[in-house]
Amino acid sequence: MRRRGVVDICADLLEIIHEGGGKTHLIFKSRMNFERFKVYIDGLSKGRLVKAQADPRSPWAVTERGYEYLEKYRELKELLPAHLIGWKRR
């Protein structure tokens, strides 16, 4: 398994949050420990890419800005040859 960069991790988290689930489920799917997960969630919140919700079954939601990030991330992946950067196309 290759190491993920910050840009990849943020995109992965946004996709996982979009799919929904409780905090434990999101942490498990993100393949991070709680401390690291919290750092990224705080950063995504400060960047207005996600927002907190009162629903414990889905504690965060992707914002419009977060969806824009995902769209640009996917566009970039399409432009760059996958073998140069090690990305798998989703």
Residue 37 in any domain: the answer is yes
Residue 50 to residue 63: CA distance in whole angstroms: 5
Evaluate whether residue 70 is within a structural domain. Answer: yes
Tokens (6 digits) for 4: 């993920």
Q: Specify the higher pLDDT residue, 56 or 30.
A: 30
**What is the band of 4 on the pLDDT scale with cuts at 50, 70, 90?**
confident
Read off the pLDDT of residues 36-80 as tens digits, 9 standing for 90 and up. Answer: 999 999 999 999 999 999 988 889 999 999 999 999 999 988 887
End-to-end Cα separation, the chain, in angstroms: 16
CATH number of the structural domain spanning residue 71: 1.10.10.10
For the question of whether the overall pTM of this predicted structure is more than 0.85, the answer is no
Mean pLDDT for the chain overall: 88
Q: Is 88 inside a domain boundary?
A: no
